[in-house]
Chain A
Amino acid sequence: MSSPTATRRPFLGLDEKKRFMLALIAPAVFALVFFQIVPIFTGANASFRDWALHDPKRTWVGLKNYLYVLRDPEFLFVVLPNTFGFMAASVGCSLGLGLALALLLNRKFRGRWLVQTVILLPLMVAPVIAAIMIRWMFNDQFGIVNVVLDLFGLAPVAWLTQRWTAFLAILITDVWLWTPWFTLLLLAGLQSLPPEPFEAAQIDAATPWRVFRHITLPMLRPVMVVCIVIRSIDAFRTFDIVWTISGGGPARATEVFSIYAYVEAFQFLNFGRGSAAAVIGAFIIVFFAMGLYRILNRWVEVSK
């Protein structure tokens, strides 16, 4: 765009176009700075201090909190594996299921709108409510899951009192919540693919599997990359479903990173330590996200 009004006097040495650009983003910048960037720095400041109830002076302690968190076996051997395991399992399962569903829905059939309405439902349900439903269904004494197991003559399982079964319940909730999101995005991707390669494949009598493997999948990759990156970042910071289903228990065995930081800060009331954990987590995910984006991006370019 050329500047149509060059006669206005410059403001801070900026021309009219730049001033317009800055004015457009000013409110968003304001919200971002005051309610995200300032708190992040407050938290970073707190992470270097002994910010706990027993020390009202908030003594500067340097890296003590960081060293504590990085040496805490709970953080290293439970929280980090849980967080990344959960991320990988959740994204992997929802991507696979979402893709399968998208392929099934990518055709015209009667009752399609009904299926689409039903799979839209989990996207609208609050994660807290989904977690409550799962908690109720997996209740060890009265839950429907154990009733069904009983029907098949299997022994009831105390789902939420063991680490791996509780983890499974959390994972099921997350997959239930997010598979529809993958389905919708991948379905939109499928519908926007050009028809020519598929027609060519049909003329060559390619099997459905080979069409999927060599045409659909490569052409869907850009959409899949965006989905995987966004969902991985979100899965890393999962809080509400873990908190509602297991509360990080039994015995902190299902704690993920967000729960760890929250518990350190608000239950053990050691705010400095919670902040240090939060800062460490933020660094991990920002670098992870950038690396993931780069790797997947390269993968897309190679496949072109």
Chain B
Amino acid sequence: MTTASLPAPAPRRAPGFFEALAPGGRRMLFLLAMVAVCLLFAFPVLWLGLTSLRPGYAVFYVHRGTDFTLENFHEVLGQQVVLKAMWNSFAISTLATILSLGVTVTSGYMLSRFKGPIPNTWFSLIYVFRCVPYVSWVLPLYFVTRALGIFDTYWGLLLPHVAVHVCFFSWIMKGFFDGIDPSMEYAAMIDGCSRWGAFWRVAMPAAIPGLTALAILCWLYTWNEFLFALILTAHETPILTVVMAQFVHELGMEWHLMSATAVLSLGPALLVTVFGQKYVIRGLKV
């Protein structure tokens, strides 16, 4: 180690056994821990990427050999069902984001700005229904959407998704509006603005950063969602996550194609991680 030349961190206490043994060793240890953390969290994704670049004959020995190819991506993108599933996932995620945010922004505003029996009832309802396991209502939703004639269509997946988001997002939206000082809205109302005007022209613009964060997360949640897509869609509306899971069960051996599909579907997640980081971190804070 060349740590001898590094300045030791200013000692606040008498140097312990460890510092006496290796000056600067704590920093080294810290650095090593950080590298290990990065490796642990990035490795599965890197491994998947590597697998997706291997030709079919070499995929079982990913760690050996240096044949790399883009043929897997080409083959996957040639499959009609994958293309269709990508488009469907994209459309559903986008529509669900717009609808969910539209529905929950007013609900969160109401929870944040008012007190009394109505907000209290609504809040407890949201809390209870947030706890109900998805499987308890997605099984009967299968029959409800069939009865409504929207099973295996966009609407049949979209509306349940909005219902999924109602509870959680109202809660987060309430947090966003709690962080915005309501005095501006009172001022606007004294100046003759209606309640709707105060909400729309004063509170909404202030909530835009929070809304952006939530929009990104909502889009990704829907893009990544599996259970609802599995039960509420069939051949007419294939969804990407379901198509991938079927790859595992039906063509269990074609790991190179599966990885390529998975890498393609990771695209948006990677983009968001790199470019939308600050928004996402804001949105995740409960």
A residues adjacent to B (C-beta < 8 A): 1, 4-5, 16-18, 20-25, 27-29, 31-32, 34-40, 42-43, 46, 101, 104, 109, 111, 114-130, 132-137, 141-142, 144, 147, 176, 180-181, 184-185, 188, 202, 205, 207, 226-227, 230, 233, 236-237, 239-240, 243-244, 247, 257-258, 261-262, 265-266, 271, 274-275, 278-279, 281-282, 285-286, 289
CA–CA, A302 and B97, complex, Å: 41
Known contacts A125-B269, A127-B226, A128-B245: A176-B61 contact under CB 8 Å:
no
Q: When A and B form their complex, what is the total count of cross-chain residue pairs whose Cβ atoms lie within 8 Å?
A: 262
Give the Cβ gap from A205 to chain B, nearest Cβ, in Å: 6
Residue with the highest number of chain A CB atoms closer than 10 Å, among B30, B40, B60, B139: B139
Within residues 1 to 40 of chain B, which ones have a CB less than 8 A from any CB in chain A? Answer: 12-13, 30, 33-34, 37-38, 40
Residues of B within 8 A of A181 (CB): 284
Does B135 count as interface, using CB distance less than 8 angstroms?
yes
In-complex Cβ contact of A120 among B33, B48, B273 (8 A): B273
In-complex Cβ contact of A36 among B51, B163, B220, B281 (8 A): B163
B118 touches A121 (CB 8 A): no
Does B98 count as interface, using CB distance less than 8 angstroms?
no
Known contacts A22-B118, A144-B47: A244-B133 contact under CB 8 Å:
no
CA–CA, A4 and B187, complex, Å: 12
Residue with the highest number of chain A CB atoms closer than 10 Å, among B170, B194, B249, B273: B273
In-complex Cβ contact of B133 among A117, A128, A141, A237 (8 A): A237
Residues of A within 8 A of B51 (CB): 136
Give the Cβ gap from B215 to chain A, nearest Cβ, in Å: 14
Contact pattern, B 116-150, Cβ under 8 Å of A = 1, otherwise 0: 00110010010011111111111111011000000
Residues of A within 8 A of B44 (CB): 130, 133-134, 137, 176
CA–CA, A109 and B37, complex, Å: 15
B137 touches A36 (CB 8 A): yes
Does B202 count as interface, using CB distance less than 8 angstroms?
no
CA–CA, A128 and B244, complex, Å: 8
Known: A184-B285, A244-B226. 12 other contacts (CB 8 A): A28-B106, A39-B141, A101-B37, A119-B41, A123-B284, A126-B241, A128-B245, A135-B248, A144-B63, A258-B227, A279-B136, A281-B135
Known contacts A21-B114, A111-B34, A244-B248: A40-B285 contact under CB 8 Å:
no
Known contacts A122-B41, A124-B273, A127-B224: A274-B139 contact under CB 8 Å:
yes
CA–CA, A283 and B255, complex, Å: 40
A121 touches B136 (CB 8 A): no
A28 touches B104 (CB 8 A): yes
B285 touches A185 (CB 8 A): yes
Residues of A within 8 A of B281 (CB): 120, 184, 188
Does B201 count as interface, using CB distance less than 8 angstroms?
no
Give the Cβ gap from A300 to chain B, nearest Cβ, in Å: 15
Residues of A within 8 A of B220 (CB): 124
CA–CA, A187 and B21, complex, Å: 31
B133 touches A121 (CB 8 A): no
In-complex Cβ contact of A184 among B37, B113, B160, B284 (8 A): B284
Give the Cβ gap from B201 to chain A, nearest Cβ, in Å: 15
A261 touches B139 (CB 8 A): yes
- Number of chain B residues close to chain A: CB under 8 A: 91
User: Who on chain A is nearest to B113 by CB?
Assistant: A1
Give the Cβ gap from A82 to chain B, nearest Cβ, in Å: 14
A240 touches B226 (CB 8 A): yes
B140 touches A42 (CB 8 A): yes
CA–CA, A208 and B82, complex, Å: 54
B170 touches A132 (CB 8 A): no
Residues of A within 8 A of B226 (CB): 126-128, 239-240, 243-244
B273 touches A35 (CB 8 A): no
Give the Cβ gap from A122 to chain B, nearest Cβ, in Å: 6
Residues of B within 8 A of A261 (CB): 135-136, 139
Does B45 count as interface, using CB distance less than 8 angstroms?
yes
B141 touches A35 (CB 8 A): yes
User: Who on chain A is nearest to B100 by CB?
Assistant: A31
User: Who on chain B is nearest to A282 by CB?
Assistant: B136
B258 touches A289 (CB 8 A): no
Give the Cβ gap from B107 to chain A, nearest Cβ, in Å: 4
B41 touches A121 (CB 8 A): yes
A-B contact pairs, 21 of them (CB 8 A): A36-B164, A40-B136, A42-B143, A43-B139, A104-B33, A117-B273, A118-B38, A118-B42, A124-B220, A126-B241, A128-B226, A129-B265, A132-B262, A135-B248, A137-B44, A181-B284, A247-B249, A281-B133, A281-B136, A286-B131, A289-B131
User: Who on chain A is nearest to B143 by CB?
Assistant: A42
CA–CA, A36 and B224, complex, Å: 20
User: Who on chain B is nearest to A205 by CB?
Assistant: B13
Give the Cβ gap from A40 to chain B, nearest Cβ, in Å: 5
B280 touches A120 (CB 8 A): yes
Give the Cβ gap from B197 to chain A, nearest Cβ, in Å: 11
Within residues 246 to 275 of chain B, which ones have a CB less than 8 A from any CB in chain A? Answer: 248-249, 255, 258-259, 262, 265-266, 269-270, 272-274
B109 touches A126 (CB 8 A): no
Does B213 count as interface, using CB distance less than 8 angstroms?
no
CA–CA, A48 and B32, complex, Å: 58
